[in-house]
Amino acid sequence: MSALTLTAAPVDRPRQTRWLLRLHRPAIYTWAVLWLALVALLLALDGPLLNAAADAWRQYESCTTSERCSYDQNAILRYKDYYNYATIALNVLPFVLAAWAGAALTGRELESGTARLAWTQATSPAHWLAVRLAVPALGVTVCTGLLAWLHHRAWTASQGRIESAKEWYDRFTFHAGGPTLAAMALAGLAAGALAGLLLRRTLPALAVGLVAVGVVRWLTELAMPHLWPAVTRLSTVDQGFLGKGMVVDQGMVTASGAHVPPPTCDSVASCATVFDRFTGRYNTYQPQSHLWGVQLTTTALTLAVAALLVTGCFLVLRRQTGTLRAARA
C-alpha cells in the first residue's frame, strides 16, 4: 500500500482591495458625486459661464463716461462666484481626505477591531496598510489630477477676457490648477492615516488629521516662493516696486547698496523724511514664466513630506504589532 502524502490546503487570503472598496462604499459614492459636480462646474467655467462673463466685460469696456452704460453685471458676478466656489472646494479637498483617512480608513478599523480580524486571516499588517494607502492614493491622484487640469484650463481661458480674473500667484488658484493639488491630497491622505494609527480612535484621529494637513499646507506656503531662483528688480523710491508675481522679498536700498526691510512711518511728513535716506527699492519675486518651475518644486517638496508620513505609518504599525508580516501557520 503506497504511502499517502498529505499536504495542507493553501490558506485563502482575503481580497483586501475588494473588501476595502465594499467597506468604504458610502465614501466612494460621496466622492464620485462631488467629483462629477466639480468637473461639471469647471467645464462650465471654461464654457458658457466664461463666454457670458467675457461678453459682459466687452459691453462694459465699450461704454463711455458720457453715455449710459448697459452690461450684464450678473454674468460677471456669477462667473466670479462660481470660480471662487470651485477654487476653494479644490483647496479644501486635502483636508477632507485627511479627515476621512484618519476617521475611517485607519482609525475606525483599529477602534472596532476589524483590522486585527484581518491580520488573523493570513493578511499581514503591512499588506493591510499598503492596500489602504495604495488604492485610495491611486484614485486620488487620477481624480485630483484631472480636476487640476480642468481648473488650469479654465483659468487660462479667462486670461485677457475676464478683467477680474485671478493672477497665477493667487494662492488658492495656484494650488487648484497644478500638480500641487494632487501632491497635497496625497499628503492629506497620509497624514490622516498616520493620525488614525497613532490614536486608534475615530474622532480624535479626524481632528488631528485636519491639523496635520493644515501644518503641511502652512509649511509649504512658507517654502514655496524660495524653491525656485527668483528675479530681483531695482527701482527708485518714487517709482515704487517694479515687477509682478509671487513676492519673495521687498524692501529698500541704502546708499551702500544694502537691502533692508521697508521702514514704517506714521505721517506723510515723517515718511518723506524716512524715505529720503534711501536710494531706491528692490523687489524679489517669481514672474509668471516661473509658474511651472515653482509648481514642480513645490510638488516635489510636498510629495517628499507625504513619503515621510507614509514611512511613519509603517513604523508606527510595526511598533504596535511587533511585526509587519503575517504569522505563518
**What mean pLDDT is predicted for residues 220-226?**
94
pLDDT for res 2: 45
Does residue 3 register a pLDDT over 50? no
> What is the pLDDT, as a whole number, of residue 93?
92
Question: Given this model, what pLDDT does residue 174 score?
Answer: 96
Q: What is the pLDDT of residues 242-252, one digit of tens each?
A: 999 999 999 99
Confidence (pTM)? 0.86
Q: CB atoms < 10 A from the CB of 21, how many?
A: 13
In this structure, of 132-136, 217-221, 296-300, 305-309, the range with the lowest mean pLDDT score is 132-136
Q: What integer pLDDT is reported at residue 191 of this predicted model?
A: 92
Task: Give pLDDT, residue 63.
Answer: 78
Considering only residues 48 and 272, tell me which one the structure prediction assigns the higher pLDDT: 48
Among candidate residues 256, 254, 261, 259, the one with its CA nearest the CA of residue 277: 254
Residue 110 identity (one-letter amino acid): L
Confidence of residue 323 (pLDDT cuts 50, 70, 90): low
| Per-residue pLDDT band at 67 (split at 50, 70, 90) | low
Cα separations (Å) of 31 from 72, 139, 192, 267? 35, 10, 17, 54
Strands (DSSP E) found in 239-298: 246-253, 259-260, 280-286
Structural domain spans, the chain: 27-62+72-228+290-321, 231-289
